[in-house]
Structure 1
Amino acid sequence: MNLLAILSNIGFPDILDILLISIVSYQLFIWFWGTKAFKALIGIVALSGVFVLAKAWGLFLTTWVFQILWQVFVILLIILFQKEIRQMLERFNPLKSIGLKHGKLLNTWIPGFSGWAFDAAKKRIGAVVIFEKTDPVSGLITRGIPMECDPQPEILNSIFYKESPLHDGAILIANNKIIKVSCYLPLSTREDLPQEWGTRHRAALGLAEQCDAWILVISEERGEVSFAFDNQVKKVKDEQELSFLLETQVFAEKEPEKNMRQVVLSWFTRRYKIKAAVFGLVFILWLAFAGQQNFEKRIDLPLGYRNVPEGLVVSSPILADISVTCRGLRKDISLLSKENMISSLDLGSAKRGKSFHTITKTNLTLPNDRIDIVHISPARIEVVIEKAPKPDIREKEPGQDKPAAKG
């Protein structure tokens, strides 16, 4: 396979194809990173590489076995990792942006809540508080007892008091109200989490992996306050920092605006090594499969004449061009050029005068027989044949060859 020939024929659809698959592959990598499904994803990539090599080298039995196993393997993966697949589809759902809009919290509410959080941490009272933002959370949590009240410290103490029947679970705050208590969150399946993290941290991160909610975690064992959001956990140092995060991040009315240049630059510079590796892998796979896909190419060729009867000449058209559209495997089509294609018209039976000739595949000489001719333009050509002119023999003037007279 001539890679240079394939690269020279890359068009806009090919570039778009590579970019789309690269973006999807990168998102899959980020979503599955650190989970049990990530190891399976690496295994799938490795097996795909073996399948590509087997197909490229013509290993018939290996290719046949892989084609049979893929069908069973896909069903098995769906059964084993249905939870991760569901989470991925939920994150990809374009309708999830249609959510609730929150009003601005009063400044008196935030300091009171921040003071309660660190007071509970000092007393080693564990708690999980969900702050719903744009994405609806109700479909991601289980159980939960409906309630509607203000998130005041007295109410929070009564809920998370160790002897309270409601303390074993999280509370959900939306629209400045506690709307559910004793909620159960999905646990994160990531394997790269610190060992000292308990169920609360794993539950908070598990929910943050599926939506844009911010989840406050108060550790009962270590007396720490943390925020889980956007696939990460951030430790909060004091009440002032917690109040600042609540005002500027959790309940911010409007995110800071960025111009297009900043957005594009941020996307390319963030995790650029991973993005470059994913793009390179996708590009290599594209090259491996590109030679096996059907491809069309149009080439303009000069039309020649052969077997012109003796004494006759083609007076019109003396120079003719035809446009030929070819279809075949990209590895074959990419090698086509004017140098290895010949178009000629057989005029062995032609006579003087005007005649019409249909141009077909028989008038073309191709590098191999795997290439199909899709279209030839023009399909017919008018040829005018005349008698060849006689050589121009000029008569010599009288006395031209006589020697000059001597004096």
Structure 2
Amino acid sequence: MIETIVSFTDELLRSFRLVDAIDILLVSAFLYATLVWFKKTTSKGVLIGMAAMAVVYFVARGLDMYLTSLAFQASFAVLLFGLVVVFQEDLRRFLERVASLRKIRFDRKRIDHVDFDVLVESVFKMADTKKGALIVMKAKEPLSRHLNSGICLNGHFSAPLIFSIFDSSTPGHDGAVVIEGNQVKQFAVHLPISQNIEAVAGRGTRHSAALGLSERSDAMTIVVSEERGAVSIAEAGMLTPMPTAADLRQRLADFQTAVLPEEEEPVLHRILFENVQLKLLSVLIAIVAWYSLAYDSSTVQRTFAFPIVYRNVAKNLSIDERAPTECRVTLSGSDRDFRFLDPATIKITLDLSEATEGYQEIPLSEKNIRLPTNLKPYRIDPRTVRLMLQAGKREGQ
């Protein structure tokens, strides 16, 4: 048993390449991003179903269940199309988030936030007078595609400005205001309506709009009910009542810390210790997938006919037309090394810069063939190229 393990480890270490490590790391990063994304999405049941199907596929492949493996491979394209349809909103949101990362990184220190005390006091004053309000706090993700209508303002946040916007006598009081940093960017904005009827049961349009935006972005929306005078927040697809000013102030502080932390952790620390369990799971899945799909310790040989290219022939010499134009080469390597081989790009190059007039015998070796890593010549036929160099200019000169 121990000898088998030692032999397997030795074989694995000898065939393992630097590019294999990079391959595993890249797949791990992709898997980690996918797991984080699914963790935040509302369609977790789909992830469980996909994981179950993947387990069945790998088991079928490992046990050489040909029909089951073939059925899964044939359905992959349909499955991929279905995933794009089901998660089209989440995919678009994910891509927008990636596109905005660079901007967030460079703008992080220049963004100020609103005065939370003024905001909380204004919200609960409106709640006491049953003045409806909808206040969107922008986070990291762009909101433009989720917002309809709206009037650009770009005004500094203040209590009088908020009170005037949500005054029932003004045309824009039924819409939402969008706050970014310490600026009121827009007012009279229409938000997407949530389809979660159960979550908004017994509540008005403002709550449905706030929940709808939270389902499509990482923004937090404060809702003041005009009928009940209650304060709620919508965040991450959930509506949460805020019974006291202290509760709202704490949620705003938590939200601000998540969006714009005062002291950002070092990059290396975040890479190593943030979401450690998900990262370890991603690496484990990538290693298992690499071993199942990419690793192959067996060596195979395949034969190809490669063209011979003669270079650096003296100007006063020409090659006799009977000179060989191709050579059969048997290459040795693992099956995965042959997957990325394009035979059309391989040539056998002979340097004739030192050749003189007359009969020539030029031995062929590995040096004459530029091959991908881990592919070695097993047999070269013929081993020696025989040709005649004749005096006289070559054609075309």
Fold match (TM-score > 0.5): yes
Does 2:263 correspond to 1:256? yes
1:157 to 163, 167, 178: 163
SS at match of 1:79: helix
Instruction: Describe the superposition over 1:149-174 as per-residue Cα deviations: whole angstroms up to 9, x where unpaired.
Output: 45433342343356765344321134
Using structure 1 for the length normalisation, give the TM-score. 0.57
Does 2:383 correspond to 1:374? no
2:177 to 149, 171, 176: 171
Instruction: Describe the superposition over 1:29-75 as per-residue Cα deviations: whole angstroms up to 9, x where unpaired.
Output: 22222534332233223223323333333333323322222222222
Does 2:75 correspond to 1:72? no
SS at match of 1:166: coil
SS at match of 2:16: coil
Task: State the 1:185 CA deviation.
Answer: 3.8
Using structure 2 for the length normalisation, give the TM-score. 0.58
Does 2:245 correspond to 1:238? yes
Decide whether the 8 Å contact of 2:222 with 2:233 is kept in 1.
Answer: yes
- Measured in 2, the distance between the counterparts of 1:266 and 1:36 equals 26
Task: State the 1:237 CA deviation.
Answer: 5.7
Paired position in structure 1 for 2:293:
289
Tell me: CA distance 1:200–1:124, structure 2 relative to 1, closer, same or farther (3 Å).
Answer: farther
- Measured in 2, the distance between the counterparts of 1:293 and 1:194 equals 58
SS at match of 1:128: strand
Task: State the 1:100 CA deviation.
Answer: 7.1
Paired position in structure 1 for 2:148:
142
Q: Larger Rg: 1 or 2?
A: 1
Task: State the 1:289 CA deviation.
Answer: 0.9
Paired amino acid for 2:208: T
Decide whether the 8 Å contact of 2:294 with 2:336 is kept in 1.
Answer: yes
Task: State the 1:115 CA deviation.
Answer: 1.6
- Measured in 1, the distance between the counterparts of 2:99 and 2:40 equals 22
SS at match of 1:146: strand
Decide whether the 8 Å contact of 1:227 with 1:236 is kept in 2.
Answer: no
2:281 to 277, 282, 289: 277
Instruction: Describe the superposition over 1:92-149 as per-residue Cα deviations: whole angstroms up to 9, x where unpaired.
Output: 225762797866579xx66433321222244454533234466543234233233454
- Measured in 1, the distance between the counterparts of 2:169 and 2:297 equals 67
Tell me: CA distance 1:116–1:70, structure 2 relative to 1, closer, same or farther (3 Å).
Answer: same
Tell me: CA distance 1:29–1:247, structure 2 relative to 1, closer, same or farther (3 Å).
Answer: closer
- Measured in 1, the distance between the counterparts of 2:299 and 2:221 equals 52
Paired amino acid for 1:30: V
Paired position in structure 2 for 1:404:
none
Does 2:4 correspond to 1:4? no
Decide whether the 8 Å contact of 2:147 with 2:189 is kept in 1.
Answer: yes
Paired position in structure 2 for 1:206:
215
Paired position in structure 1 for 2:272:
268
Paired amino acid for 1:17: D
Tell me: CA distance 1:244–1:92, structure 2 relative to 1, closer, same or farther (3 Å).
Answer: closer
Instruction: Describe the superposition over 1:198-219 as per-residue Cα deviations: whole angstroms up to 9, x where unpaired.
Output: 535523533543xxx5544446
Tell me: CA distance 1:10–1:48, structure 2 relative to 1, closer, same or farther (3 Å).
Answer: same
- Measured in 2, the distance between the counterparts of 1:58 and 1:237 equals 63
Task: State the 1:22 CA deviation.
Answer: 1.8
Tell me: CA distance 1:32–1:202, structure 2 relative to 1, closer, same or farther (3 Å).
Answer: farther
Q: How many residues align?
A: 313
Decide whether the 8 Å contact of 1:325 with 1:376 is kept in 2.
Answer: yes
Does 2:59 correspond to 1:53? yes
- Measured in 1, the distance between the counterparts of 2:229 and 2:27 equals 44
- Measured in 2, the distance between the counterparts of 1:46 and 1:251 equals 33
SS at match of 1:93: helix
Paired position in structure 2 for 1:352:
none
- Measured in 2, the distance between the counterparts of 1:200 and 1:54 equals 47
Paired position in structure 1 for 2:93:
87
- Measured in 2, the distance between the counterparts of 1:295 and 1:167 equals 74
Instruction: Describe the superposition over 1:373-405 as per-residue Cα deviations: whole angstroms up to 9, x where unpaired.
Output: 43689x989xxxxxxxxxxxxxxxxxxxxxxxx
The runs of at least 4 aligned residues of structure 1 exceeding 6 Å deviation read 98-101, 187-191, 193-197, 229-236, 250-254, 293-296, 356-360
Paired amino acid for 1:74: L
Decide whether the 8 Å contact of 1:186 with 1:206 is kept in 2.
Answer: no
CA RMSD of aligned residues (A): 5.2
- Measured in 1, the distance between the counterparts of 2:146 and 2:102 equals 12
Tell me: CA distance 1:189–1:4, structure 2 relative to 1, closer, same or farther (3 Å).
Answer: farther
Paired amino acid for 1:238: A
Instruction: Describe the superposition over 1:228-262 as per-residue Cα deviations: whole angstroms up to 9, x where unpaired.
Output: 4899989696369839957994899984254x4xx
1:24 to 30, 47, 53: 30
Paired amino acid for 1:4: T
Paired position in structure 1 for 2:315:
none
Tell me: CA distance 1:252–1:39, structure 2 relative to 1, closer, same or farther (3 Å).
Answer: closer
* Unaligned stretches of 5+ residues in structure 2: 301-329, 339-361, 367-373, 385-397
Q: Give 1:91-110 correspondences, 5 Å limit.
A: 91-93=97-99, 97=103, 104=112
Tell me: CA distance 1:58–1:179, structure 2 relative to 1, closer, same or farther (3 Å).
Answer: same
* Unaligned stretches of 5+ residues in structure 1: 297-323, 333-355, 361-370, 382-407
- Measured in 2, the distance between the counterparts of 1:136 and 1:96 equals 13
SS at match of 1:33: helix
